[in-house]
Amino acid sequence: MSMLNKGAKLIDNLLDVKNIQMVPTRDGFGKGLVEAGEKDQRVVALCADLSESTRFHWFAQKFPERFIQMGVAEQNLATVASGMANYGKIPFIGSYAAFSPGRNNEQIRTTISLNNIPVKVIGCHAGVSVGPDGATHQQIEDIALMRVQPNMTVVVPCDAVEAQKATVAIAFNNKPSYLRLGREKSWVFTTPDTPFEVGKAEILRVSSASSGQADVVIIGCGILLYNALAAAEELAKEQIDCMVINSHTVKPLDEKTIIEVAKKCGAVVSVEEHQVNGGLGSAIAECLAKNHPVPQEFIGVQDRFGESGDPFELIEVLGMGVGSIKEAVKKVFKRKNK
């Protein structure tokens, strides 16, 4: 049963909180890759021996002549794709995020970002929600690795529907791009009609006040946005009014929207399934430090590695559950009013 209900102050027609399903974001990517391949024959796919796990196998079945199995050779995966992109192809490269961009970061930097060519790096099984695979495979540094690279676009979809849209969008943006995906089934709460544009944050929950000035704005990316919405609804019962923003594009950050909502609310909580250092929260803090400083709290992994366990238990244990988000909102709300 959904933790949300139709009584929440959600933007009309943006979300479906009545018929929540659980689907991995990687499934949305797989469908989007096939859709992109149908639109343009320049789209090709290269995978590092994990085609089924990464959902590249759907593209391989539909377009076998445009699929290349590279084997367990992530560095070669990046460099071959860079060459193909330099000659007009639109390559998607995929592996677990621990290996791409984790293992082949130097090759992505030198052969893709430095040359500003449109290879699409797909990091699957990212975050602690990969669960039992443990710390080695729980890639929680990848947003930081990718967003620091010049020319690189970084997108973290909140659900499978958004992942499909994001895949098609980055296919044709003519830029190096990183798309972050999870393995575990997660909440699907957007719809095919929910707006999506790379570089533009979406307001998912508005203030209940007539002025539009909420007490706190929660800005998140990825699957934890569902927790953010649930936390906002529970906080409303405690007379704390929250906006919720989907900042699916970590780079380029929608600074205009971030600054506007920070001015309206005066306090920010960032939410991401990633290290608090170097991810979305850091990007928001950098933006606001230059333009409109406000108190901010950070929900994410607090400078430690993950561990083996149930995906959703890990999210709770590592401080990214609904209760932790509520605590962060209350803390920043107090700071705001000192």
Phi, psi of 46 (to 5 degrees): -125, 130
Nearest to 244 by CA among 257, 228, 266, 224: 228
Catalytic residues: 74
Q: How far apart are CA 105 and CA 125, in angstroms?
A: 17
Q: How far apart are CA 211 and CA 1, in angstroms?
A: 33
Cis ω for the linkage preceding 64 (within 30 of 0): no
What is the four-CA torsion angle of 209, 20, 130, 121, rounded to 10 degrees? -80
Sign, CA torsion 113/116/119/124: positive
DSSP conformational letter for 11: P
CB 162, CB 133: distance < 8 Å: no
DSSP conformational letter for 93: E
Q: How far apart are CA 191 and CA 102, in angstroms?
A: 31
Q: How far apart are CA 286 and CA 62, in angstroms?
A: 43
